[in-house]
Structure 1
């Protein structure tokens, strides 16, 4: 991808990534990086080796804890008394609530009123006051009101230097633990995860490729990279609600333009098949966002990554049992077909 020269990405340096990762170490788990011991997947990948970065074992169940804590710890003493707010369909709200609790701040998080009740309960369990509003603009408008009227610091779900420095820890840990990786595959929603990971990987190991995977019905970053500027979608249609932001934003787009090698798209059926693959071959129960990365590896990226040493980021596992069961059933036939081709 060609660099986007309209946004300054110089604050994201190798030294700052290492420093921020260490600063967060007291509260953030250094999640396991493990080889995927699956004969079937090695066979499908032409003898290649696959490693998993288990960010599903992170505090709050997803990588989101890193960016949220990175932001919360950067709030000035003067602003801490007012606390924080956030806007989210689920995972970021949980993470922001957790980060506020860890840093001793009050939290009012705004969640979409169609959010999974499981995720709403998780945010409340972290001690936040949860406010429900309509999806999209009404949710962000309420968070903006809380920021303006109550002075709360708004923690963005995927944009900003502190967010990127936080999520970069995933990439820094991965290549530190698995230094022989040829490529890393990452699911993409708003771009907060891949922008940090891609920066960390390319700044520490330039020869390692970075690939993003988006749902076909939520491909704002793919479209933005083609357009050369952030794009907003007219609509979003995917079961992977964690990958559903309708837009890319300037910093995330610029980091992806500079450091991501390519983007691919997968259907919801393929995402469900990716969830089945992780359950069958790694015994991991994950949410659709994590299934997307595996779907990208086994689908559109398979040919180009044959025989390579590939890392897959398993980004999260916040899903209730009933939804998980339904999505596994949906993915079974597609998984079987995928592994036979």
Structure 2
């Protein structure tokens, strides 16, 4: 792969958010020796996302390749696949449509990735940027909005997708092995997440490092409609649901040699009992739940739904992972 940075902006009905995002890309200070490009993926938008993207970029006199590519299949993972397929350079920077990158983001990303060929993914440091001053509950849970240093990156082997940088060559290898993610990314009101975590897990299992760097700064713009308690509760539900799906990876990461069927089915029955206890408590206890209790309830609900709906998928995907890892690692040897 040619060394350089492909900035991939995945968009679904992003016409209102794109102007500031594109402005911050236009303000990037990139040395002349670093090739880079911008790819906007219009993911089944029903507004004029593609038109706005072109109009905004044309406001700036930048000699940088800029493309808008349509992906009619809805879903963040499909949008990212289209971006990966069309990326010209080895380093792929996923900039969400609400990420405002500091003006040295691209140059620093390039420097970090070229400094060590074993870095498979690097994450940045998001700064919570609410459209209006946040309520107390929102402020105290702003980590859910992509915020702050990713101190867990080296030990837990993942970084969030916003502002993250990956090596395209790794995805080419995985595509040859027909690797498919069990997570899908967000689909409409279903805030299924974890596709970024899953990507990192797979990269780590192939022998690469997953790191974060606090010098990679960006603001994460949060609109008013996402600054409310219901959004936070919904987010906790779907994060718990997603965590269930990622259990196709956890036994491999943790060197757990138990049969995957025993792990998943045992967890399902334990969660079912916990869920029933929560329902009984909510029915008999008349006082309103505290915000923390509501979060716990939604987390249990999401876990139970994830296990009820996906046990067979997780088992099948786990077995497929063993095949892929054996094939790729034997090829490397």
Q: TM-score, normalising length from structure 2?
A: 0.31
Point out the structure with the larger strand share.
Answer: 2
Larger Rg computed on CA atoms: 2
Highest RCO, 1 vs 2 (Cα 8 Å, sep ≥ 6)? 1
Q: TM-score, normalising length from structure 1?
A: 0.31
